Amino acid sequence: MVTTRFTDVALEAGEAFAESGRSVHTGLAQLRFLLTRIVHEQFPAGLSLVGDLVDELLQAFFLGFHLQSAHRLGTRLTTSYAEITPPPRSAQSRGVAAADKVLSIGTSSSGRLLIAADVEASKRLLAELHPGLEESHWTGVADSTGSTSGDGAQEQARRIAVITQALAYPPGIYERRNVFLELLAVQDGEAESSLVSVVSKVLHHDVLVRTLEVLFHTNGNRNEAARRLFVHRSTLDYRMNRISQLTGWDPANAPDLMLFRAGFAAIAVSRHRDRGLNIA
């Protein structure tokens, strides 16, 4: 396959460039310039059609560079993908070593990153390169070790960012274990459809939606939820009864409350898919 051959060549080029001792971004800049010229000369009317291929070649070069670097050190390369929402401004470089571990994917404002590190190290790198990230953005990080394309990991990182924001988590850097059940729900098309069908019955009731969000974050503790909502306990109970009447699920019941959480996640993923962001 032509695309596979190109990717293999880019991977080998990255491995060779690692021997130069220069920053990977120097090599990426040269490759990006060359590819841009070729695309403009050969595909003047179809730039968007080859954008994904260019992105794939840049990722392959980046991976090749770090595979060779890891080989020289006698270690195994681990990689992760990250999705930051809303997309941050340009990273503040805190040294070549940190910046060399991170590759921005797609447009400069996409908020998608490939990181030559495991999930925990990736979280530290993101905090270092984007000071204040954990106070203002929702970031999903997913392991992609063993994949040269990482489509599944990119998708998972994107879903983590979307779900944590939709469930009113505080801004921060999250991983799979933080939304494990919600991720499982949206990976099953039939389950997602069922969840959306039920939860959509309360979406037009802002007060009920906010009530559920607070119940999520208090683990169903009604006294604490009432305190955070600044309402009397009886008012909270009335709202919960109303939610039960509308949906058939009782938010006072722990398993049902978990279904509501999964449903809110499914709604968020569905909405992003409808906007053409390829979440599913």
Long-range Cβ contact pairs of 149-157 (< 8 A, separation 24 or more): 149/56, 149/59, 150/59, 150/79, 150/81, 150/114, 153/80, 153/81, 154/81, 154/83, 154/105, 154/112, 155/279, 156/81, 156/183, 157/80, 157/81, 157/82, 157/83, 157/112
At 106, list the tokens: 């797609």
**Angstrom distance (rounded) from CA 166 to CA 162:** 6
Query: How many residues appear in the chain?
Result: 280
Q: CA 148 to CA 8: how far, in whole Å?
A: 10
Residue 6 tokens read as: 């190109």
Amino acid letter, residue 41: E
Residue numbers of the chain with a pLDDT score lower than 70: 1-3, 39, 42-51, 90-97, 107-110, 146-151, 273-280
d(CA 47, CA 135): 37
pLDDT of residue 277: 45
Residue 143 near residue 158, CB atoms below 8 Å? no
Please report the pLDDT score of residue 168 as a whole number: 87
- Residue 133 confidence (pLDDT): 86
pTM reported for the whole predicted model: 0.82
